[in-house]
Structure 1
Amino acid sequence: MHWGCVCFTNKFIPFLMGIFLIIHPGVLNVLIVYFTIVVFLFGFLQNQNVTRNSSLYKKPFLESFEETPLLVAVLTYMGYGILTIFGYLRDFLRHWNIEKCHVAREREEQKDFVPLYQDFENFYTRNLYMRIRDNWNRPICSVPGAKMDLVERVSHDYNWTFQHTGKVVKDVINMGSYNYLGFAENTGTCADAAVEATHKYGVGVGSTRYEIGNLDIHEEMEQLVARFLGVESSMAFGMGFATNSMNIPALTGKGCLILSDELNHASLVLGARLSGSTIRVFKHNNMQSLEKLLRDAIVHGQPRTHRPWKKILIVVEGIYSMEGSIVRLPEVIALKKRYKAYLYLDEAHSIGALGPNGRGVVDYFGLDPKDVDIMMGTFTKSFGAAGGYIGGKRELIDYLRNHSHSALYATSMSPPVAQQIITSMKTIMGEDGTTLGADRLRQLSENTTYFRRKLRDMGFIIYGNDDSPVVPMMLYMPAKIGAFGREMLKRNIGTVVVGFPATPIIESRARFCVSAAHTREMLDTVSHLK
């Protein structure tokens, strides 16, 4: 299909709809504009071929991102348009019944106050999100392993509030947790070691590392992480999100340039914004786009003054959690070396889940860890724990210990969590005297390949790399988001469904996370649904 049509559909139409939703003088104008757009697009469809093939490339691995078919895109916009129109109609009717409608009554009580929330955010929450709110925040009452137990709940006011029925939905197949290697468990060596650490240290420290919260178990964990990554030194943090958002501002500032992948995680985006650096975004995994930004940065320098940038930092992820794609790290490193930039690699989803030794995307490509300046990752996925880390040269880590807000002001990591990290990491490295780590790495790889192949054979459009345990399956239309999540739960399968604004408006999806703990029978149960 013609590329100009794709650009028009994906960018121009949402822009037009957003403008008219903001400045519209009435529902009638919205109807006129909306249906004019739909009629135009359907007329355009007559001369377009809506059948597409997956764009697969091998540089140096297979990755699939099938573009949204134009017909599906139009129908998706129609779905959101209908929801929006009826949303405005519902809001209009609410004003006729102020005494019985708590939303309108709240507006009446606060009419003299400055709005605390943006009006469109309120509108979206009331009229779109509330319709499918039951698909999120479901209470779990068991270990989030291959199977889990959910607390049953019902709503009598259209998802505004929920009541627990006292019943438990047993043995739900868990396809949503980041438990890639199955270490989130309450039995086994990791659980036993965590219990021993609880008896020895307690469950909390009650202080920062710089006061009286630095334990020997923290020192042991950081030395182990550095050895696992193959770097000189490392430091750990109690929260994965803060590892990015609080350390990027410590590394860059005014006069620095951050080149960020357009699909980077919110923690990376927040950290870049807090740093005060100039931010420029390149297309996802597009090396031509990245190189163009690097060239422009070298040639033109800083705006107005044209002085050279103090430093240029490239920020990418190992596995992108919404796309299932793997960063083209060899090419990124080549560009970084050519243009004398620094590289910040977020391995939250790739560490432990990729590579023959489970050491992330660097191990996956067989690269030298020294080529990555800042190696960041989290313990919340493959290690079944909490927190994050940064690894690199000793000078880098010493600097962060004295300048990172997350290190200076945050409470130390809980000792049982630190012990969970130590035990699971040693298992992956094979230092526990067993082959459990190697077996789970192999099982995860086999499960990932098997599950992706099954979904493709059934005709679903799935995104990402063939080796990525994050498997996004495209739903597109807004009605399918809630329907798919509810239908899967009826069949005792727990999934994560995602829509706008977490994804582009025409790219709603279900995201499966494959684990080494899943059996072949579980994956067959999920993939054989009709």
Structure 2
Amino acid sequence: MTDRKRGYGGVSGSSKDALVAELREATRNRRQRPEAAETPRPAAQPRGVKPFDFSELPAYRELRMQRAAADMMGIGNPFFRAHAGMAGASSVIGNRSYINFASYNYLGLNGHPAVDAAAKAAIDRYGTSVSASRLVAGERPIHRELEARLAAVHGVEDAIVLVSGHATNVSTIGTLLGPKDLILYDALIHNSVAEGARLSGAARLSFPHNDWKALATTLEKIRHDYERVLIVIEGLYSMDGDMPDLARFIEVKSDNDAWLMVDEAHSLGVLGATGRGIAEHAGIDPTSVEIWMGTLSKTLSGCGGYIAGSSALIDFLKVKTPGFVYSVGLAPALAAAAIASIDVMEAEPERVAKLRDNGLFFVEEARKAGLDIGLSQGYAVVPVIVGGSAQAAVLADRVFQRGLNALPIIYPAVPEKAARLRFFVTSSHERAEIAEAVRITAEELAAVKAAGSVLKQLVNR
């Protein structure tokens, strides 16, 4: 029997029948095994297309050059060193114990028995995560307990806790201000504030460090051009260890119908007789400041950030701030650790007093040794300013070899000529440890400078 007339595409009738039968059989098999039909085929890779090689980024090339230069000079990488256990006044790195000034455990509460016990109990009750945004299903009583305690510490109505200190500033500032507004911040403000200002789309200006007069002059000239104005300062500056004249900044913001935000990341637990921050230290009514910001990672032995202020501010942020609305709620153990840390801080003000004594002692010893501590007032943060970034890196390596862990702060975190070693002083340090740290730093800095002078002489010959 001859083949039937050819059908579509030149396929014979019999061949087409066989093809249809085959397709029907395949369809029946897929129905019996639905998972086979749901499994997508891998997309074919276009020929000649390769993923981007990020090592080609100019910034990465520069980083590799810096690392190569450090290797040639025999300088170990001071960053990402693994600590074998809890980092306190001393720490074990690579099976060796070091005097440690690189951790901001200001009141020695990280590892405190009451803090550890509270964190463990929270895990037993809530688990390690709340597994959702607080807005939907992550809310737990411990969150509101912590927020109430933070509000009480700052003397305001309410607070909101977020999972990242950096994101707290970025998200809050980015939410509250917009293109018709102005943000003015201290020239030495933390990166998170600058990033939040950029995100907001508002006009942004920096003013000279702690210079409330310059701020007032600027506002007199341009305040009328904007709807809302936010001024941002820190309670204790994390790179320099000094503080603003809070009363004067409150006067400036009041005279110019502006909001004032104070970042207390490094001043909570440090300033004030009971560690409540710069308002307590300066004897200022805390309700005269619109926005208080802080972190849980320094004094409060956890991780995360918070905003404290009026009930209206907090209600607004809880439904509008992306860093809160679209992020998982704070881990229960961290909330519990922060609450317990507040308990100990309030019950043992002698920790705050010991920290203050240690800070002043460090400053006195450093000055005697001829070290440049810049603007530091001896409140927990003390820089030793070296000069260039290379010198700071060399000094950090040299003191590390002698059993002292203090990290370099280099450009762009600080200006190139103001590179430094930064010392975080805690209440757990003993005077002997502080004196030893200053002695080692002074000796090694002298050696670094001497080597630099010899090198200059050789170059100039």
TM-score range, shorter-chain basis? 0.7 to 0.9
Q: 1:117 to 1:401 in 2, by over 3 A?
A: farther
Q: Give deviations 1:452-473, integer Å, cap 9, x for gaps.
A: 1000000011022324211010
Instruction: Give the 3-state SS of the residue equivalent to 2:125 in structure 1.
Output: helix
Match of residue 87, structure 2, among 141, 144, 152? 144
Write the letter of the residue equivalent to 2:159.
Answer: S
Match of residue 180, structure 1, among 106, 123, 139? 106
Instruction: Give the 3-state SS of the residue equivalent to 1:126 in structure 2.
Output: helix
**Counterpart in the other structure of 1:89:** none
Matched, 1:289 2:214: yes
Give % identity: 32
CA distance in 1, matches of 2:410, 2:402: 22
**Counterpart in the other structure of 1:135:** 78
**Counterpart in the other structure of 1:455:** 366
Q: Give deviations 1:38-97, integer Å, cap 9, x for gaps.
A: xxxxxxxxxxxxxxxxxxxxxxxxxxxxxxxxxxxxxxxxxxxxxxxxxxxxxxxxxxxx
CA distance in 2, matches of 1:360, 1:515: 16
Q: 1:487 to 1:244 in 2, by over 3 A?
A: same
Matched, 1:269 2:269: no
Q: 1:129 to 1:326 in 2, by over 3 A?
A: farther
Match of residue 234, structure 1, among 145, 156, 159? 159
1:121-520 equivalences in 2 (<5 Å): 121-130=59-68, 131=70, 132=75, 134-151=77-94, 168-169=95-96, 171-185=97-111, 187-298=112-223, 301-302=224-225, 309-430=226-347, 437-520=348-431
Q: 1:110 to 1:375 in 2, by over 3 A?
A: same
CA distance in 2, matches of 1:522, 1:116: 42
| Structure having the higher Rg | 2
CA distance in 1, matches of 2:152, 2:425: 27
Instruction: Report if the CA contact (8 A) 2:264-2:294 is conserved.
Output: yes
Write the letter of the residue equivalent to 1:148.
Answer: S
**Given the two structures, how large is their TM-score scaled by the length of structure 2?**
0.81
Aligned residues: 389
CA distance in 1, matches of 2:86, 2:379: 24
Larger deviation, residues 245-254 vs 441-450:
245-254
Instruction: Report if the CA contact (8 A) 1:325-1:463 is conserved.
Output: no
CA distance in 1, matches of 2:195, 2:284: 29
CA distance in 2, matches of 1:337, 1:110: 59
Q: For structure 2, which runs of at least 5 residues remain unmatched after alignment? A: 1-47, 444-461
Give the Å deviation of 1:114.
9.4
Instruction: Report if the CA contact (8 A) 2:376-2:383 is conserved.
Output: no
Instruction: Give the 3-state SS of the residue equivalent to 1:259 in structure 2.
Output: strand
Give the Å deviation of 1:265.
0.7
Instruction: Give the 3-state SS of the residue equivalent to 2:344 in structure 1.
Output: helix
Instruction: Report if the CA contact (8 A) 2:241-2:376 is conserved.
Output: yes
Q: 1:332 to 1:110 in 2, by over 3 A?
A: farther
1:68-83 equivalences in 2 (<5 Å): none
**Given the two structures, how large is their TM-score scaled by the length of structure 1?**
0.71
